[in-house]
Structure 1
Amino acid sequence: MRTGLALLCAVLALASLALGPVDLAALWARDPELARNLFIELRLPRTGLALLIGAGLGASGAAAQALFRNPLASPDVLGPSSGAALGAVLAGYFLGAGVIGMAIGGLAGAGLSLVLLLALAGRGAGATRLVLAGVAVSMLLGVAINLALSLAPSPFALYDLMFWLMGSLNDRSLPQLALAAPLILIGIVLLLRAAPALDTLALGEEVAQSLGVGLSALQARVVLAIALATGAGVAVAGSIGFIGLIVPHLVRPYVGHRPGAAIAPSALAGAALLSAADIAVRLLPAGLDLRLGVLTALIGAPFFLCLIMGRS
């Protein structure tokens, strides 16, 4: 399965590099330097970010569902997405920072959400208390985002804020890719290393402890990894929902429903799904501007409703 998903990611990456409003092959014949700059400065970072952010969201979703032993859990429940969005908004529209400053502000916001989460949950908190603390942090940061929107310095700033929060990979640059990539990759690696312990946790907390799994240390590692993988993605691309929720459900049947074993294929499937969605957004008819986060929500919301109805 991993090989097939990896090949799919490779095919979608090539398609992402080749497809778009501008025909690179035709442009290369007329102006090779412009075509080269377009490829390196726009197509390459956009393709790389789609793969990395999708992988981070997919792996984080699988890990969150394994940690909380809840198939309806998603990375958003812990608050790093809201924290990153708030940090980017404050940095970009109230401190006057550029795109890199917004990304740094987003990373700072994700870190703040992690601090708040751990402070509310307390040391050695169980899964239930951790989820409740995450929901409280997400609500608090959501209120702060709405307050920031209401205090936007101008109607144009408010318009930009709203569109950024919808999630997009338009006009992303190599510096943004260089900033987000290491953090997302570190988060994914930490989650992959936690996969065996998460498989053991599925047998129950008492069994996991008897087999040498430190629950507090495992929770801390997984929460930190999710904050890195999702916070860095939101910091550069805005909010992109539902990838972390639906992807683990698509791959789990192929790994024997083992929650930890689903992390690696979920990363690959998340990368493929977000890349495919970004290609679809790019190829829409001229004049139709559909944001990436809106498209993933249109795909994910019906899937989420089906999950709820199937479990009711």
Structure 2
Amino acid sequence: MNRLLPLSLTVALLFAMGIGLSVGYTALPLDILWHGLIGEGETGYQIVVQEIRLPRVILGAVIGFSLGLSGAALQGLLRNPLAEPGVVGISASAGLGGVIAIYFGLASSVAWALPLTSMTGAGLAVFLLFGLTGRDASVLTIILAGVAISALAVALTSLMMSLAPTPWAVTEMLFWVMGALKDRSMTDVTLTLPFMILGWIFILSTARALDALTLGEETARSMGVNLRHVNIRLILGTAMCVGASVSAAGSIGFIGLVVPHLLRPLVSYQPSRLLIVSGLGGGVLLILADIAVRLIPSKPEINLGVLTALIGAPFFLYLILKTRREMR
């Protein structure tokens, strides 16, 4: 593995975060940005930097890291490059959990309700996906299972919206599901970041087991890998990462598909080495996408989830065609 890759991606992530702090409807010079960040600038600039842009950039970094890491972990577990939280219905199921919390008023009355219901939805989706497909499923089986899970989650989400008591509630659910980092605060960071970090720990603890699984389940068992424990840790880790991400920013897809695919050749196709770099790459990509939605001249601002889908969907189709050619 290129030893400079994690360092390079870390530098790129910090650079992207710096650009994210300075870019917006009003570009801020470096000196004003710095003084606003440390609380020594004018009050207006402090509010813009600390309460509007800083939470947005932090969430972009940690959510991108969570989605990239989860995508790499799922692909390693299922041994399939098309496994990704958005593609296989995990994000949609997490969104359903969040919509349920909004519908019943739990999100406004209990601070932890939105992250917990989103993580529950994501965990159930991972468990169902693994039960339907197993580790050696074909590309077609993965896609069909993901379509079924996603369709069920979307149908139930639409049902909740159709039964919503007010148009305002429908609008809140719709814009939340579409995914965005705008109008987020440090409260969103403090509520969701602990769950994401715990999810990172669970997933990273399976790194060596994922390497062993590339040799097959029997070989992995002979090497002392407890597959049941690995499954539990990956299900919990993915549920926490995706659920907490969706509760903070709504459904943002394809980060976990695009980033691992681009970085896999740079780590010699080794699952354990792909985890960290996919997380860092996911953070970079999501922050750059969020910068793009701020710079695109549109009113209102394009939702981040819409932009990532416009980028990721053609890439997904390309991967399907590529996989089909390789199978011939």
Question: 1:19 aligns to what?
Answer: 23
Q: Is the 8 A contact 1:62 1:248 kept in 2?
A: yes
2:10 paired residue among 6, 12, 26:
6
Two-structure CA RMSD over aligned residues (Å): 2.7
* Counterpart for residue 32 of structure 1: 42
Structure 1 residues 204 and 51: CA distance shift in structure 2, 3 A? same
Does 1:306 find its partner at 2:310? no
Equivalent residue for 2:230, pick from 218, 222, 234? 218
Aligned to 2:62: 52
CA distance in 1: counterparts of 2:167 and 2:47, whole angstroms: 33
Whether contact under 8 Å (2:79, 2:136) holds in the other structure is no
Query: Superposed, which structure 2 residues align to 1:74-223 within 5 Å?
Result: 74-76=84-86, 80-95=90-105, 97-98=107-108, 101=110, 104-115=113-124, 118=127, 126-127=134-135, 137-223=149-235
Provide the secondary structure at the position in 2 that maps to 1:171.
coil
1:142 is displaced (CA, Å) by: 2.5
Per-residue deviation at 1:38?
1.9
By how many angstroms is 1:143 displaced? 2.2
Question: 1:199 and 1:71, CA in 2 relative to 1: closer, same or farther beyond 3 A?
Answer: same
Asked if the contact 1:277/1:292 (under 8 Å) is kept, the reply is yes
SS of equivalent to 1:127: coil
Q: CA deviation at 1:224?
A: 0.8
Shift, 1:216, TM fit: 1.2
Q: CA deviation at 1:259?
A: 1.9
Instruction: Determine if contact 1:247/1:266 at 8 Å carries over to the other structure.
Output: yes
Q: How far is the alpha carbon of 1:101 from its aligned partner?
A: 4.6
Under a length normalisation based on structure 1, what TM-score does the superposition of the two structures give?
Answer: 0.89
What TM-score results when the alignment is normalised by the length of structure 2? 0.85
Cα deviations by residue, 1:65-85 (Å, 9 ceiling, x for unpaired) = 000011111124665423331
Residue 235 of structure 1 pairs with residue 247 of structure 2: yes
Specify the SS of the correspondent of 2:91: helix
1:88–1:103 contact (8 Å) kept in structure 2: no
Distance change >3 Å, CA 304–CA 117, structure 1 → 2: closer
Residues 81-121 of structure 1: CA deviation (Å, up to 9, x unaligned): 233312322322441743x8576324224225525764896
**CA distance change for structure 1 residues 120 and 45 in 2, over 3 Å: closer, same or farther?**
closer
Query: Shift in Å at residue 61 of structure 1?
Result: 0.3
- AA aligned to 2:26 is V
1:97 to 1:203, Cα distance in 2 relative to 1, 3 A: closer
Cross-structure match for 1:244: 256
Deviation at 1:218, TM superposition (A): 0.6
Shift of 1:192: 1.7
Determine the C-alpha separation between the residues in 2 that align with 1:119 and 1:267: 24
SS of the equivalent of 1:287 reads: coil
Once residues 125 and 322 of structure 2 are traced to their aligned partners in structure 1, the CA distance between those partners, rounded to angstroms, is: 34
Asked if structure 2 preserves the Cα contact closer than 8 Å seen for 1:61 and 1:248, the reply is yes
Count of aligned residue pairs for this structure pair: 308
The answer on 1:256 being equivalent to 2:268 is yes
Q: Is the CA contact 1:180–1:236 (under 8 Å) kept in the aligned structure 2?
A: yes
Give 1:287 deviation, angstroms: 2.0
